[in-house]
């Protein structure tokens, strides 16, 4: 069928034609946003899921709900090698600039800008002289302790937003790349603004490897945050994700074709888009048949093997590739690190650094103590296909 009208959208963060199976997460976010901007306590979310399950899409969706609710929003992606202070600084400055032109928020925004100036200086963030014209106020966000200073900045921004009847929604993607103390600082800051009924909310998303929180951050995180899992779609949602976009284009699909797609994709959103994209291009006319779906499956797998999966392999060293191959040869995960070591014929303790490096590259994670698993769904199948060639 004409690729020009293909409704499916495989790609990082690209909005799917049908956001299937995520009603609960979206509704919970909507309630939290509506409560927070009214000064009511709410539970915020950290969305946890494997690669390609739709976390970024959800964060974008939640950002637009926030905008409709009256929030000024900031969307950041935690980088692998930069500090949280560095990525938040320009966002906080932009929010305060926007607030400072609103009549009711001007005074509070300028107070906050002067705190931000200290913040930039204690965290050695390179800023031009003209960036902030406010005079520094001693004692405001200038301790050099991230937890303390970020809490102060959240409070100052919250007060400024509140005086203009606005809110600040901070969306953080790839939250697994934050250092433990950075995530702790965010959680403690959220606790403070929540306690003071200020309209600031944080919604985050990342791989399901929870940071090792301790102290206050740990006890707050359990009460303040909900950690919804963003996983594979169940059968009903997977069917909707494929069928509804087709119906909108007046195209039917046979049940056995749908069954094949659900089996091949295991309900994972990214793969569903990839298969949808390929069945559309493979089929000549409605209804889409099992044969069309079989042709599409071959194309989709070939495309994934040479693209999506392949680029991830390219980030690994040869020794790391041996490690992930050993995992795949054990079957489907999670895998005990001791089993991986035996598979490799190596001593488990000597493999620690190699495992840590693969984890830091975001390829595998540790779902439980002593276990590892792939962060990319169906990656084990890919590795086995590759080993058989
Ligand atoms: N609920 C859904 N129904 C159908 N397709 C979806 C859904 N959510 C996301 N997708 C599709 O899945 C793909 C991956 O989405 P997204 O980039 O948000 O995943 P992610 O979890 O952020 O992945 P990564 O961890 O690699 O960043 C996109 O092509 C998107 O259109
Ligand atoms: Mg993403």
CATH number for position 267: 1.10.8
In this structure, which residue's CA is closest to atom 25 in ligand 1? 51
Say if ligand 1 is within 6 A of residue 241 CB: yes
Per-residue model confidence (pLDDT) at position 220? 87
Instruction: Flag whether 128 is in a domain.
Output: yes
In terms of phi and psi (left: phi > 0; alpha: psi -120 to 50; beta: otherwise), the region of 250 is: left
Q: Which atom of ligand 1 is nearest to the CA of 10?
A: 29
pLDDT tens, position by position, 217-272: 888 888 899 999 999 999 999 999 999 999 999 999 999 999 999 999 999 999 99
Cα distance between residue 324 and residue 219, in whole Å: 35
| Exposed e or buried b per residue across 270-283, where buried means at least 16 C-beta atoms within 10 angstroms of its C-beta | bbbbbbbbbbbbbb
State how beta strands 167-173 and 71-77 pair: parallel
The total domain count for the chain is 3
Q: Count how many Cα atoms sit within 13 Å of the Cα of residue 236 in the half-sphere of its side chain.
A: 3
pLDDT tens, position by position, 115-166: 999 999 889 887 765 556 666 677 777 788 999 999 999 999 999 999 999 9
What average pLDDT does the chain have?
93
- 155 and 273 in a single domain? The answer is no
- 136 and 185 in a single domain? The answer is yes
Per-residue model confidence (pLDDT) at position 132? 63
Cα angle for residues 89, 94, 100 (degrees, 5° grid): 125
Say if ligand 1 is within 6 A of residue 16 CB: yes
CB 203 within 8 A of CB 169: yes
Say if ligand 1 is within 6 A of residue 353 CB: no
Q: Which atom of ligand 1 is nearest to the CA of 11?
A: 29
Please say which residue of 289, 306, 323 terminates a domain: 306
- 55 and 176 in a single domain? The answer is yes
Instruction: Flag whether 154 is in a domain.
Output: yes
Answer whether residue 207 shows pLDDT above 70.
yes
Mean pLDDT for the stretch of residues 32-61: 95
Instruction: Flag whether 243 is in a domain.
Output: yes
- 267 and 314 in a single domain? The answer is no
Which ligand ends up closest to the CA of 267? 1
What would the DSSP string read from start to end of 24-43?
A: HHHHHHHHHHHHHHTT----
pLDDT interval class at 211 (50, 70, 90): low
Say if ligand 1 is within 6 A of residue 229 CB: no
- 278 and 328 in a single domain? The answer is no
Distances (CA, A) of 283 to 246, 275, 291, 292: 12, 12, 9, 5
Instruction: Flag whether 337 is in a domain.
Output: yes
Say if ligand 1 is within 6 A of residue 20 CB: yes
Which ligand ends up closest to the CA of 61? 1
pLDDT interval class at 193 (50, 70, 90): very high
CATH number for position 70: 3.40.50.300
Domain that residue 80 falls in: 23-226
Per-residue model confidence (pLDDT) at position 95? 96
* pLDDT higher at 278 or 211: 278
Answer whether residue 80 shows pLDDT above 70.
yes
Per-residue model confidence (pLDDT) at position 131? 59
Which ligand ends up closest to the CA of 75? 2
Say if ligand 1 is within 6 A of residue 269 CB: yes
- 32 and 80 in a single domain? The answer is yes
pLDDT tens, position by position, 166-176: 999 999 999 99
**Sheet with 200-206, side-by-side order of all strands:** 71-77, 167-173, 200-206, 44-48, 225-226
Contacts of 318-321 spanning 24+ positions with Cβ under 8 A? 319/354, 320/354, 320/357, 320/358, 320/361, 320/363
- 357 and 375 in a single domain? The answer is yes
The rounded Å distance from CA 205 to ligand 1 centre is 12
Per-residue model confidence (pLDDT) at position 137? 73
Say if ligand 1 is within 6 A of residue 22 CB: yes
Say if ligand 1 is within 6 A of residue 270 CB: yes
Q: Which atom of ligand 1 is nearest to the CA of 21?
A: 1
What sign has the CA pseudo-torsion 16, 22, 23, 28? Answer: negative
pLDDT tens, position by position, 348-381: 899 999 999 999 888 999 988 899 999 999 999 9
Per-residue model confidence (pLDDT) at position 128? 61
Answer whether residue 214 shows pLDDT above 90.
no
- 365 and 287 in a single domain? The answer is no
pLDDT tens, position by position, 127-141: 765 556 666 677 777
Mean pLDDT for the stretch of residues 325-331: 97
């Amino acid at each position: 069928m004409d690729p020009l009208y293909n409704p499916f959208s495989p790609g990082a963060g690209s909005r799917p034609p049908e956001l299937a199976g995520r009603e609960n997460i979206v509704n919970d976010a909507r309630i939290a946003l509506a409560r927070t901007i009214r000064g009511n306590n709410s539970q915020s979310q950290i969305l946890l899921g494997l690669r390609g399950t739709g976390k970024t899409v959800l964060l974008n969706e939640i950002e637009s709900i926030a905008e409709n609710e009256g929030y000024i929003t900031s969307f950041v992606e935690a980088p692998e090698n930069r500090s949280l202070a560095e990525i938040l600084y320009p966002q906080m400055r932009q929010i305060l600039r926007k607030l400072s032109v609103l009549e009711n928020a001007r005074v509070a925004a300028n107070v906050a800008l002067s705190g931000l100036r200290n913040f930039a200086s204690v965290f050695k963030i390179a800023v031009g002289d003209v960036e902030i014209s406010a005079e520094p106020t001693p004692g405001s966000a200038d301790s050099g302790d991230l937890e303390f200073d970020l809490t102060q900045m959240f409070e100052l921004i919250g007060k400024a937003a509140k005086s203009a009847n606005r809110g600040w929604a901070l969306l953080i993607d790839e939250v697994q790349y934050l250092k433990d103390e950075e995530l702790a600082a965010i959680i403690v800051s959220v606790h403070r603004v929540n306690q003071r009924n200020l309209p600031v909310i944080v919604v985050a998303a990342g791989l399901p490897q929870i940071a090792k929180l301790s102290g206050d951050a740990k006890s707050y995180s359990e009460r303040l945050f909900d950690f919804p899992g963003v996983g594979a779609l169940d059968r009903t949602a997977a069917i909707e994700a494929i069928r509804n976009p087709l119906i909108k284009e007046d195209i039917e699909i046979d049940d056995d074709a749908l069954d094949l797609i659900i089996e091949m994709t295991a309900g994972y959103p990214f793969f569903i888009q990839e298969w949808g994209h390929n069945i559309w291009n493979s089929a000549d006319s409605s209804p889409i048949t099992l044969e069309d779906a079989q042709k599409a499956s071959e194309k989709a797998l070939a495309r994934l093997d040479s693209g999506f999966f392949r680029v991830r392999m390219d980030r690994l060293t040869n020794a790391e590739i041996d490690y992930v191959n050993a995992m795949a040869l054990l079957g489907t995960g999670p895998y005990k690190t001791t089993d991986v070591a035996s598979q490799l014929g190596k001593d488990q303790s000597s493999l620690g650094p190699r495992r840590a490096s693969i984890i830091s590259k975001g390829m595998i994670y540790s779902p439980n103590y002593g276990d590892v698993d792939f962060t990319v769904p169906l990656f084990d199948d890919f590795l086995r296909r590759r080993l058989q060639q």
